[in-house]
Amino acid sequence: MKAPSVLIGAIFATLAAGSASAEGLAAPLTDKDCVGRKGDVRLIVQVGALRSNAGEVSITVYPSDPDRFLVPRGKLLRQRVKASAPMTQACFNLPVADAYAVEAYHDVDADRELDRNTQGLPTEGYGFSNDAPTRYAKPSYDAVRFMVKPGDNTIRIKIRYPR
């Protein structure tokens, strides 16, 4: 009688593992997956709602200085990871517990640029921390910033694709 119950338990475990990957749950990240100098503060960014596995996802972390947000050379850290729909994740070792802002985009053609149309509007999917609104303009730093505490921190960003 024990053999069938063990077999049934194994079947349920296999089904549970399969459903986790089907729901887009990512594998745990290790220290080697993180960029930045290892310290006491770690940020895991989960980028969801990806439409495909094409290209890569660029994830950029900005420091607490609003003047550095979305400007050339303003970033603190960036990681480009292979896209894995529906969710891709990246890990950052941060220097201190503080306010940060994150921007991500799905670089479908992996050209390391957010492609834009002739009006300058993005043609690839993008998103920001706090799911900050971007209907008519880039979001403000205040709309995107969030606090990071010592230890592990996780945020989720939903990629929104232009119509």
pLDDT tens-place string over residues 13-57: 433 444 444 445 667 888 889 999 999 999 999 999 999 999 999
Q: Looking at the domain assignment, is residue 13 inside a domain? A: no
Question: Domain range for residue 102?
Answer: 28-158
Which pLDDT does position 24 carry in this prediction? 52
Of 113, 137, 126, 129, residue with least CA distance to 159: 126
Q: Is the pTM of this model over 0.95?
A: no
Q: Domain containing 70 — which CATH number?
A: 2.60.40
Q: Looking at the domain assignment, is residue 21 inside a domain? A: no
Q: Looking at the domain assignment, is residue 73 inside a domain? A: yes
Task: Domain count for the chain, please give it.
Answer: 1
CA of 78: how far to CAs of 18, 40, 83, 103, 105, in Å? 31, 19, 15, 10, 12
Q: Looking at the domain assignment, is residue 4 inside a domain? A: no
Q: Looking at the domain assignment, is residue 66 inside a domain? A: yes
The span from the CA of 101 to the CA of 70, in Å, is 10
Which pLDDT does position 84 carry in this prediction? 97
Of 24, 62, 25, 22, residue with least CA distance to 43: 62
Q: Looking at the domain assignment, is residue 5 inside a domain? A: no
